[in-house]
Structure 1
Amino acid sequence: MAVRRMGRTGLIAAAVSALAVLAGQAGAAPTLLVNAVIHTEDPANPTAGALAWDEAGTLLAVGDAADLARRYPGATTVDASGGAVVPGLIDAHGHVQEEGASLLTADLVGATSKAEILARLKAQAAKLAPGDWLQGRGWDQNRWADKAFPTAADLDAAFPDRPVVLERIDGHALWVNSAALRVAAAKPGAKSLDGAWQPQGGRIMRQGKAATGVLIDNAMDLVAEAMPPRTDAQIRQNYQLAFAEMVSLGLTGTHEPGISLQSFRVLQDMAAKGEVPVRLYTMADGDHEALDWLCAQGGGYTDPTGRVRMRAVKLYMDGALGSRGAKLLRPYSDDAGNSGIYVTNPADYARVVAKAKGCHVQVATHAIGDGGNRTVLDTYAKVLGADTKSDLRWRVEHAQILTLDDIPRFAPLGVIASMQPTHATSDMPWAEKRLGHDRLAGAYAWQRLRQSGARLALGSDFPVEKANPMLGLYAAVTRQDLAGQPPGGWLPDQRLSREEALAGFTRDAAYAGFMEGEVGTLKPGLRADFVILDADPLTVAPRRIADIKPLSTWVDGRKVYEAGK
């Protein structure tokens, strides 16, 4: 009777665990990690002093160091030097390729004026060949004195001929110069950017009928499509740079939303050559080709190494709050008459969601405003119908602004809230101006969602925010900036406990990627993915969490990063 109650997943896990233990008893030479404070994320065995794993990287035992030393007398020993050990950290929403690309372009994050941005751009331009496009990312007009959108004219004097394309911090707006606008307008079949028309799902900012140089959401394509496309070699380089950064931060896995088939095929080749040191759960970018391919694979694909997989499609419902593209049910409090943008027509969106359900593909939809989130939930409910027990694990990416009526809808639909704690601490200086006080009740509402029964998978949205997961843990438990402001935290009743926050970056993120039977917890039969930290995030002073550093990062029982090496 007990066996029957376990179900298929439980039987598989038990069988794997039993085989792992037998392998250890049969005399295989495992590796033993000792002298550690281990937080396993396994509710049945939350803390331990040692780990043992086999040559294939499967955990054999998790428990007391003396007991494991007796069980595995010939083991190779790894001394954690008293460090804290947690399961490999998983960012449930990180743009890996774009993180690498951002390291090769002008970094505009934190700039407090246009003059500072121009200085950074001139330094970057000095590294480029004549005729190369000058690219940068990270500008945020909310940090400037006038808080107004910039214009092409702000760039033209310094760069009259070289096209300049600068991505806003949230990735939902471009600031370009007149040279870039001219290239876009000269593209065969291009429609004039001047006039009164607006692209579906986007906005060209204008002064009178003239484009000012800021393009929001789908309007960005007008310039982006005129730029030279990335080559396979550039994609590979971007991933290599990002992987090196990820492992140095203790990230053993990331869910990468919205990649092209070209990028996925580069990843497949990299994995085959042993060039992928982490686990990537990728999402198709939502175009017909990518979703058709995913459906042809039976709804999912995992490469032979297990490091690269695709089982989801990333869709967009609205824009971002900072650029006033997030779709709200009522107009913005600081922009009368503007209630945001549907990046995807709701009827078209519903057709793609229905297609994904037919292929058993996970749907992950970007939705930030309360109007965008409601449309997503309404669509999910209609397409799923009574079929809410099919374990599709559909997701809402960001789920930043919700009505109190919509929060309880997540759990009954089986919808995961994929959220980014540092978005709250980045947005808190100006979010109330955008929304007004009353809408804050459902803003960045981590605890309300969790207490309603929804599962939270946590991430950073890098490179929109820093990739460091310790900053995410700190923001989740304090809702403060690094200066400790505001005292007590912003909307402090929505703070997470340390245990809840760590679960969001480990076992709950693993669940959101259908990987809970492999990673996310440290228990026999799962993979030996873990991080040794220089301090314990569950016990140090709250501000100290943000400063914790990995001593080493391990994937499949092999060290992929060591501090100072």
Structure 2
Amino acid sequence: MADRIHTLAGTGPRRPTAVAVAGGVIAALGDRADARDWRGPGTEVLDLGTATITPGLVDGHFHPVMGVGLTRGVDLSSVRTVEGLKAALRAAAVPPGGWLEGWGLDPNAFEGAPISHAPLVEALGPDVPVFLLLFDAHSALVSPRALDSAGVTGPREFVSGASVVCDADGRPTGHLLELEALDLVRRLLPDDAPADRRARLSELLKRMAAVGLTAANAMDFEDDSLELIRALEEDGELPVRWRFAPFVMPGTGRDGLDAVIAQQRLDGRRWRVEGAKFMIDGTVDGGTAWLDEPDSHGESTACFWPDPAEYAEAVRTLAGHGVPIVTHAIGDAGIRYVLDTYARLPRSRVPHRVEHLETLPSELIGRFRELDVTASMQPTHCTHYTRADHTDNWSSRLGKKRADRAFRARDLRDDGARLALGSDWPIAPFDPRGIIAAARLRRPAGAPEVEPVLPEQALTARMALEGYTTEAAAAAGLAGLAGQLAPGQRADLSVFALDPLTTGPDEFAESPVPLTVVDGTVTHRG
């Protein structure tokens, strides 16, 4: 029971203040007086007072197992300058003879200068092997010792659009772009102990429940994902539901596609494999997006797949076996190619998706509704890493015209597109309260001094909440089963001390979370 219950299923004759749960589903809605008649011998009665109950929040884009491996070492997400980077490295503990690792580094810290390993050498000397993952997880900065250990002395050729960045003399700068290049050095890093990975994943899921998340879409299925998720389920019920989409990389042959098809049969009590994750391009910040015209560095002109037709063929093969397709598409050319590919696919119960959608021409907006394709966006990618005056690395690479058509969440919703919201953790924080606030403010929550980025693209409070509830359920093919509070729907509930529909966004971002419920079971008590 609570003073406010937002069912998102229509108002009806009166607004409920009580919800009954039995057998993992919602059994009834009514008021506090009705609740007296619902009680049985084993009923637990919770009166949450002035709190607000909503359908359970679902993160649209998350990397749980991959993220556990990516967030090792020093957290560099607060570094804003090269001097700050050097200070953070000097303060880090480096095991004798071991590696220094870090993550979350924003390329804006280099203030427009080329990204190179010079600050690493200045801070630590030439003999420390260093691997720093940039915030987008598509690029890294490594030290000369790390390059030497990996045998990297110059450019390399890759199946995908990856590259080892070199200076004019052909010497590696330490900047590695995209996964195949990163793996040249990353394969040398010490492995996490399985017990440590399991403990970190368990703790991550508890932290997710503590901020009101009841489910998430995992955009990977790492080598040990099955082992880890089954091990956690053996210990008890997962506090968050999961839908996993295994990665499909360039060069994946028919055997690899058959393996992804076979994985679609894997599931557990609160998780399942459903979908396949592709990338059509990389990132604007790294110069590996796929744009119609080059960026200001003359980069971002190529597909992540050397032959885009191979992407299209792999997508057709999987979709023909009923596998929902998820594609990372950042640039205008990439988004267009993905939509053109989807237009030739049969429609299915679970709609195909496009992730990120960073610079989107107006002529493509209507195609999401026309093709029944889900637009999946992460509001904090805009509010945390770009600036209204376009002085950030992302905007300066694109130029004003393309930066002015960025992160068009409101245009998509107003046109009738299905819009799911999420975090892309560990690329950005996963707290949905801050993300919902950012979607409304077009700036970071709690930073009123920051000028909003394209404020006309702000979502209403209801749109933002729907991006985590009704829109998320429809994106998973679960409309009618989840995303609303109605009899017969899943008993997944998020409870906030403040009302997400009437409280100011900055204030809501700090709202306490007194309770989270999954499948009728309390997974968090605040």
Contact 1:100/1:241 (8 A) holds in 2: no
**CA deviation profile, 1:286-326 (whole Å, cap 9, x unmatched):** 255764334125x44321x1x11111111111111222222
Of 406, 422, 426, the match for 2:364: 406
- CA distance in 2 between counterparts of 1:159 and 1:47 reads 65
Q: Look up the match of 2:243.
A: 281
- CA distance in 1 between counterparts of 2:99 and 2:301 reads 30
Asked whether 1:70 is paired with 2:70, we answer no
Seen in structure 2, the aligned counterparts of structure 1 residues 195 and 326 have a Cα distance that, compared at 3 Å, is: closer
Deviation at 1:548, TM superposition (A): 1.6
Q: Which amino acid aligns with 1:238?
A: R
With 76-85 and 167-176 compared, the bigger mean Cα shift is at: 76-85
- CA distance in 1 between counterparts of 2:320 and 2:351 reads 14
**CA deviation profile, 1:460-494 (whole Å, cap 9, x unmatched):** 1111111110111111111123322555x322221
Q: Secondary structure at the match of 2:343?
A: helix
Q: Which amino acid aligns with 2:258?
A: D
Q: Which amino acid aligns with 1:112?
A: R
Asked whether 1:119 is paired with 2:87, we answer yes
Q: Which amino acid aligns with 1:40?
A: T
Normalised TM-score (structure 1): 0.85
Asked whether 1:422 is paired with 2:380, we answer yes
Asked whether 1:210 is paired with 2:171, we answer yes
Q: Look up the match of 1:170.
A: 136
Q: Look up the match of 1:365.
A: 327
Q: Look up the match of 2:259.
A: 293
- CA distance in 1 between counterparts of 2:384 and 2:19 reads 38
Deviation at 1:234, TM superposition (A): 4.0
Of 319, 343, 348, the match for 2:304: 343
Q: Secondary structure at the match of 2:322?
A: coil
Query: Identity of paired residues, percent?
Result: 34
Asked whether 1:250 is paired with 2:218, we answer no
Of 79, 85, 103, the match for 2:47: 79
Q: Look up the match of 1:37.
A: 4
Q: Secondary structure at the match of 2:516?
A: strand
> Aligned-residue CA RMSD in angstroms?
2.3
Contact 2:350/2:476 (8 A) holds in 1: no
Normalised TM-score (structure 2): 0.90
**CA deviation profile, 1:267-298 (whole Å, cap 9, x unmatched):** 1232233152210111112255764334125x
Seen in structure 2, the aligned counterparts of structure 1 residues 547 and 149 have a Cα distance that, compared at 3 Å, is: farther
Instruction: Give runs of aligned pairs for residues 185-334 of structure 1, distance below 5 A.
Output: 185=151, 192-195=152-155, 200-207=160-167, 208-217=169-178, 218-230=180-192, 232-274=194-236, 276-286=238-248, 288=252, 291-296=257-262, 299-303=264-268, 305=269, 307-332=270-295, 334=296
Instruction: Give runs of aligned pairs for residues 118-137 of structure 1, distance below 5 A.
Output: 118-126=86-94, 128=95, 130-137=96-103
Q: Secondary structure at the match of 1:412?
A: helix
Asked whether 1:553 is paired with 2:516, we answer yes
Q: Secondary structure at the match of 1:215?
A: strand
Instruction: Give runs of aligned pairs for residues 368-447 of structure 1, distance below 5 A.
Output: 368-382=330-344, 384=345, 387-388=346-347, 390-429=348-387, 430=392, 431-447=394-410
- CA distance in 2 between counterparts of 1:398 and 1:47 reads 36
Q: Look up the match of 2:108.
A: 142
Q: Which amino acid aligns with 1:166?
A: L
- CA distance in 2 between counterparts of 1:451 and 1:485 reads 28
Contact 1:98/1:238 (8 A) holds in 2: no
Seen in structure 2, the aligned counterparts of structure 1 residues 225 and 344 have a Cα distance that, compared at 3 Å, is: farther
- CA distance in 2 between counterparts of 1:44 and 1:492 reads 30
Q: Secondary structure at the match of 1:59?
A: strand
Q: Secondary structure at the match of 2:275?
A: strand
Seen in structure 2, the aligned counterparts of structure 1 residues 320 and 195 have a Cα distance that, compared at 3 Å, is: closer
Q: Look up the match of 2:74.
A: 106
Asked whether 1:96 is paired with 2:55, we answer no
Contact 2:18/2:29 (8 A) holds in 1: yes
Contact 1:59/1:525 (8 A) holds in 2: yes
Contact 2:496/2:513 (8 A) holds in 1: yes
Seen in structure 2, the aligned counterparts of structure 1 residues 235 and 73 have a Cα distance that, compared at 3 Å, is: closer
